[in-house]
């Protein structure tokens, strides 16, 4: 019986019945897509994706990247077998070309476009529309004031509103005069549209920066090359010591220019006590050609002062010494001749030297040691470099013979010699001792393996070559973004309304109000400036203009509109009949 009563109560409740019968509408495929697009194109999502892109770029600096140095990545995987392959599967060795990084990049790009385009359309419509209608009670605005034009000035209400419009136009306001039958004319004025223009320029420039960076990553390239004095670099793939192409790079993009290093000069400090011997200036004299048929040009390459050829920038990034040697094999034939790049290792240009001679007969030869520009011997009998300049050059080497491992095609570091499978010929711990050579001297290797001579010393430079077709555009858009941000921060959106009316005694009563869109701490100063301009236009002194109305929001009983009482000094006079107040 009780159960039946409960059922009757539920069925008699209309709210419960409505809830029971209510069913949420199905969102559907189009509704889901519309919701997803709304979420993606919101400014909050764009900011989140921008932050996510910065976080996603962090692994690129934590792990070696395959496009920059594939051999380092291979060695890293070998040294970390537990998680090295897993990181490779997650594309952490190629972060900036990975699927997940590209997805974030594209989503950010789409999100910014979806934010900017609707805002640009809405702002365009706002700029073409008229200022908002004049409020019924200007006294309720944050900044409000009144002016009184004496009757003897001969300025009726219609002329006053026209002159006020001219004053505001000179101040940069967009003005619309509203005439309600000539009794109570008013105007609406608006300025500060460049604030939103700055916002749009800023966000559009961000899109431009993203596009420019993408173009550089897709079609740009970079490379390195070491040039010894007298060497010539030709801009072809085989001319690079190391080359990093963009994702969509094609060899046809390379312009066939050439650069020849004529002479490299270094100026060392010879006066300062604490910096004696340190390099203070680098200067590389080069000869360049835009193409094989172009005339040769003499140019100077300096640090932070690159030269530009074929759309690429060539930077001076390193330098050192290259001892010139001649090596003859056991059969007396010249197996190797020319400069050998010495890699800087310590102070005063102390450099390591590795020489590989795979063409020597009957056995391949290898040399490893160091080069000293100014050689000294310590009390312990250890050689060291006492000055970076070539005052006493010395080449000290150990020699080996055997299979250098170059014939199997495996890549090797030119600055390292693997002596594990080689047989030593010269070393300090052997009876033959090490090889110590001065310029112009030679040494005969043991067991009839050949000879080596030290013919002289040349200088070399290391250059970085960069081609980024989006670099200039990225700079332009970055500058535009800064300009747009400054505009959006320092320009304020403001509105001004002015209403005039004629008092019973012939005076022209003027009231004005100002409103800012958003917070504007300079609105009070703008109100004071408008008051001074209007007073100057009508040649009103402080006494004739009347006291400025209080700038707080009054109550309905305290409204000091044209239909209410107007206070001048300590005398309160009723305003003349001006008809019923209407929204203008």
Average pLDDT of the segment spanning 413-420: 88
Residue of 49, 34, 56, 54 lying closest to 110 (CA atoms) = 49
- What tokens does 213 get? 């960076």
The per-residue pLDDT for 547 is 53
Inform me whether the pLDDT recorded for 122 exceeds 80: yes
Question: Residues near 437 by Cβ (< 8 Å), separated by ≥ 6?
Answer: 394, 395, 396, 397, 443, 452, 453, 454
Average pLDDT of the segment spanning 453-461: 96
Q: How far apart are CA 12 and CA 451, in angstroms?
A: 114
Inform me whether the pLDDT recorded for 182 exceeds 80: no
Q: How far apart are CA 494 and CA 384, in angstroms?
A: 74
CA dist list (Å): 133 to 19, 129, 175, 187, 212: 44, 11, 11, 8, 44
Mean pLDDT of the chain: 85
Q: How far apart are CA 212 and CA 480, in angstroms?
A: 13
Query: Per residue in 286-317, pLDDT tens?
Result: 999 998 888 999 999 999 899 999 889 999 99
Query: Per residue in 25-67, pLDDT tens?
Result: 667 788 888 888 888 888 789 889 989 999 998 988 888 888 7
Instruction: Note whether 188 and 176 are within 8 A (CB).
Output: yes
Average pLDDT of the segment spanning 149-173: 91
Query: Per residue in 354-393, pLDDT tens?
Result: 999 999 999 999 999 999 999 998 888 788 898 999 999 9
- What tokens does 2 get? 């009780």
Query: Per residue in 123-143, pLDDT tens?
Result: 889 888 888 888 989 999 999
Quickly name the fold that domain 130-192+492-573 has.
Double Stranded RNA Binding Domain (3.30.160)
Residue of 253, 252, 257 lying closest to 239 (CA atoms) = 257
- Exposure of 87 by Cβ count < 10 A (0-12 exposed, 13-18 middle, 19+ buried)? middle
Is 14 or 319 the better-scoring residue by pLDDT? Answer: 319
Inform me whether the pLDDT recorded for 2 exceeds 70: no
Q: How far apart are CA 374 and CA 376, in angstroms?
A: 7
The per-residue pLDDT for 1 is 46
Q: How far apart are CA 481 and CA 467, in angstroms?
A: 24
- What tokens does 225 get? 């090359």
Domain boundaries, the chain: 28-119, 130-192+492-573, 197-219+470-487, 221-467
Is 175 or 33 the better-scoring residue by pLDDT? Answer: 175
């Amino acid at each position: 019986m009780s159960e039946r009563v409960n059922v009757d109560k539920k069925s008699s409740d209309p709210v419960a019945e409505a809830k029971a019968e209510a069913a949420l509408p199905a969102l559907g495929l189009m509704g889901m897509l519309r919701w997803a697009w709304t979420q993606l194109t919101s400014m909050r999502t764009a900011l989140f994706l921008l932050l996510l892109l910065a976080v996603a770029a962090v692994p690129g600096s934590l792990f070696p990247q395959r496009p920059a140095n594939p051999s380092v990545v291979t060695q890293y995987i070998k040294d970390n077998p537990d998680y090295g392959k897993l990181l490779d599967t997650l594309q952490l060795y190629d972060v900036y070309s990975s699927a997940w990084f590209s997805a974030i990049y594209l989503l950010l790009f789409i999100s910014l476009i979806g934010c900017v385009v609707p805002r640009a359309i809405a702002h365009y419509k706002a700029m073409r529309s008229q200022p908002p209608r004049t409020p019924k009670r200007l006294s309720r605005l944050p900044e409000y004031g009144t002016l009184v034009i004496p009757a003897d000035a001969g300025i009726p209400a219609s002329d006053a509103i026209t002159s006020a419009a001219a004053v505001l136009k000179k101040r940069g306001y967009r003005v619309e005069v509203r005439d309600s039958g000539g009794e109570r004319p008013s105007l609406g004025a608006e300025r500060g549209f460049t604030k939103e223009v700055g916002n749009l320029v800023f966000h559009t420039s961000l899109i431009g920066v993203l596009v420019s960076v993408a173009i550089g990553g897709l079609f740009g390239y970079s490379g390195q090359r070491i040039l010894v004095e007298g060497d010539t670099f030709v801009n072809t793939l085989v001319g690079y010591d190391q080359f990093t192409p963009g994702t969509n790079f094609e060899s046809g993009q390379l312009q066939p220019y050439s650069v020849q290093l004529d002479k490299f000069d270094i100026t060392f400090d010879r006066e300062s006590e604490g910096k004696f011997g340190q390099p203070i200036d680098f200067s590389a004299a080069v000869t360049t050609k835009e193409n094989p048929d172009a005339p040769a040009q003499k140019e100077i390459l300096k640090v932070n002062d690159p030269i530009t050829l074929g759309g690429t920038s060539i930077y001076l990034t390193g330098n050192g010494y290259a001892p010139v040697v001649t090596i003859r094999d056991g059969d007396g034939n010249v197996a190797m001749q020319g400069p050998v790049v010495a890699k800087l290792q310590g102070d005063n240009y102390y450099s390591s030297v590795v020489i590989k001679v795979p063409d020597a007969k009957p056995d391949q030869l290898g040399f490893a040691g160091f080069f000293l520009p100014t050689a000294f011997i310590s009390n312990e009998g250890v050689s060291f470099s006492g000055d970076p300049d070539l005052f006493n050059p010395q080449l000290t080497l150990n020699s080996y013979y055997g299979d250098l491992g170059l014939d199997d095609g495996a890549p090797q570091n030119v600055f390292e010699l693997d002596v594990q499978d080689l047989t030593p010929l010269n070393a300090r711990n052997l009876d033959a001792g090490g090889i110590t050579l001065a310029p112009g001297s030679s040494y005969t290797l043991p067991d009839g393996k050949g000879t080596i001579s030290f013919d002289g010393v040349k200088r070399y430079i290391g250059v970085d070559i960069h081609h980024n077709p989006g670099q200039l555009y990225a700079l332009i858009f970055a500058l535009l973004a800064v300009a747009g941000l400054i505009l959006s921060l320092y320009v304020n959106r403001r509105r001004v309304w002015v209403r005039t009316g004629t008092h019973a005694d012939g005076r022209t009563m003027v009231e004005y109000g100002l409103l800012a869109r958003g917070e504007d701490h300079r609105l009070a100063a703008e109100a004071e400036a408008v008051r001074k301009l209007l007073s100057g236009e009508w040649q009103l002194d402080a006494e004739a203009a009347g006291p400025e109305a209080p700038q707080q929001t009054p109550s309905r009983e305290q409204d000091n509109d044209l239909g209410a009482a107007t206070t001048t000094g300590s005398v309160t006079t009723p305003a003349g009949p001006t008809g019923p107040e209407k929204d203008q």
